Amino acid sequence: MSAPWPRWRASHWNTFLLSIILTFVAVVLAAFTGLVLNGERAIREGHLMRGRALFGSIVLTRKWNALHGGVFVEKAPGMLSNPWLENPDRHGDDGTVYTKKNPALMTREISEIAEREGGFRFHITSLKPLNPANVADPFEREALASFERGATEASTRTENDGKPWYRYMAPLLVEKPCLGCHAKQGYRIGDVRGGISVSFGTVEAESAIHRARWAGVGFALLTAALLILLVWRMVSGLHGRVVAAESRIRVMALTDELTGLANRRQAGELLLQEVARSARYGRPVSLILFDIDHFKKVNDTYGHEAGDAVLRSVARTAAGALRKTDLGGRWGGEEFLAILPETDAAGARVLAERLRAALDGLRTPYAGRELHVTVSSGISTWAPAAPSTAAVEIDVLLRQADEALYRAKDAGRNQVSG
């Protein structure tokens, strides 16, 4: 047989398929990871916005309180006066006692209500608190220190009783109404007096994040699986088309396009292989070289299309006359070659006569006519006496068949010589 035709091996296709699959999977995972991360980022930003909103609302409430110099409320039984204020209580004409709620106290009391009913809390704090209850915790101390360095806000995620919480803190700047209580501490307008930290639970938000992560993983795996299936089918189809195209190219490279027989190159390689096999096993091999008689006259009289029709008919008839083990090919022009494995000279002559007779009886219909041609054949045989590895002169075998062919033509054509 001929040398292997270049083709992609299975490993190349596997590598190609794996590369495409990995690329698609990477793109899908990156896309879903981006979606999940963007979702998480949106939730985190929602926490930040909520913290800012809560801080802003309490700051506005404090400002209203401060603009009015504090708010006096009726002192109910059990209500304690603010010990950090001078003269916090007032008595009405009817004897009712009113106590002053300054911004700091109001903030703490609102925080207690918010924690009971709203799931969040405030804590006013400072690095120099008047009220020991306002001492900063580690997060608040770090935030207050950062405010001194110019930071405008701080936030963190933490846990409270095993549940996730979000903490936000922003600074409180000294304003004119604040000086009534804090001027004695050395503060001036615009100084960072302290801050308010806002804390709220994020159980539902964290659960949403986890659900989004698992949903993202599930959708990513499903999408990746569908893409892998799609890519596998596409690449498999492409592989099939490439193999089919490769097969067609191989046939075109080794086959005579007009007759469908092996072309000269392929026929020569087949002859080399059969002769080598004969030498290896000590068996004879024969060769028939046959040529269409007066083929030029067919072309000159009826045209090249008629000549092509005759060549196709001769090739088809010759293939039918030979044995299944015989190998036929077009040697060139109107000349054909038949390789006869395991065949001595006598057997070759019998086959050559059968071939000549079949072609003599051939009629090729063309343009309302039946074209009749004959062939002349030359035989050559190589029969090693025993298995051998000695080189065989293929040219000698071909030359002998060619010389026998011309003897047949000189003897009157439509004959076998050898």
On whether the CB atoms of residues 336 and 330 are closer than 8 A, the answer is yes
Q: State pLDDT tens for residues 232-273.
A: 787 777 777 877 777 777 777 789 999 999 999 999 999 999
Report the alpha-carbon distance of residue 264 to residue 308 in Å, rounded.
17
Token pair recorded at residue 53: 């909103």
Range with the lowest mean pLDDT among 214-218, 278-282, 349-353, 384-388?
Answer: 384-388
Q: What is the pTM of this model?
A: 0.49
Length of the chain in residues, anyone?
418
Instruction: Evaluate if residue 76 carries a pLDDT over 70.
Output: yes
404-to-240, 341, 378 alpha-carbon distances in Å: 47, 19, 4
The CATH code of the domain at 264-417 is: 3.30.70.270
When pLDDT is averaged across residues 184-205 and rounded to a whole number, the result is 78
Token pair recorded at residue 111: 């925080």
Sign of CA dihedral 237, 240, 246, 249: negative
DSSP letter at 66? H
DSSP letter at 3? P
What is the structure's pLDDT at 403? 96
Q: Work out the pLDDT band at 186, boundaries 50, 70, 90.
A: low
On whether the CB atoms of residues 105 and 75 are closer than 8 A, the answer is no
Report the alpha-carbon distance of residue 107 to residue 59 in Å, rounded.
9
The Cβ-side half-sphere exposure at 228, using a 13 Å CA radius, reads 11
Report the alpha-carbon distance of residue 142 to residue 147 in Å, rounded.
9
Report the alpha-carbon distance of residue 418 to residue 408 in Å, rounded.
9
Report the alpha-carbon distance of residue 49 to residue 191 in Å, rounded.
25
Report the alpha-carbon distance of residue 122 to residue 132 in Å, rounded.
16
Q: Work out the pLDDT band at 1, boundaries 50, 70, 90.
A: very low
Return all residues near 49 (Cβ < 8 A) that are at least 6 apart: none
What is the structure's pLDDT at 140? 93
Q: Work out the pLDDT band at 108, boundaries 50, 70, 90.
A: confident
What is the structure's pLDDT at 193? 78
* Position with higher pLDDT, 163 vs 380: 380
Instruction: Evaluate if residue 204 carries a pLDDT over 50.
Output: yes
Strands 369-371 and 364-366: antiparallel
Sign of CA dihedral 334, 337, 338, 344: positive
Return all residues near 204 (Cβ < 8 A) that are at least 6 apart: none
On whether the CB atoms of residues 74 and 96 are closer than 8 A, the answer is yes
Instruction: Evaluate if residue 130 carries a pLDDT over 70.
Output: yes
Token pair recorded at residue 198: 């806002």
* Position with higher pLDDT, 124 vs 404: 404
When pLDDT is averaged across residues 175-202 and rounded to a whole number, the result is 71
Q: State pLDDT tens for residues 349-407.
A: 999 999 999 999 999 999 999 999 999 999 999 988 767 655 567 888 999 999 999 99
Report the alpha-carbon distance of residue 153 to residue 300 in Å, rounded.
101
Return all residues near 307 (Cβ < 8 A) that are at least 6 apart: 295, 298, 299, 334
What is the structure's pLDDT at 10? 60
Burial of 414 (0-12, 13-18, 19+ CB in 10 A): middle
Closest CA to 313 of 331, 288, 334, 342: 334
Report the alpha-carbon distance of residue 117 to residue 155 in Å, rounded.
23
Q: Work out the pLDDT band at 6, boundaries 50, 70, 90.
A: very low
Report the alpha-carbon distance of residue 141 to residue 134 in Å, rounded.
11
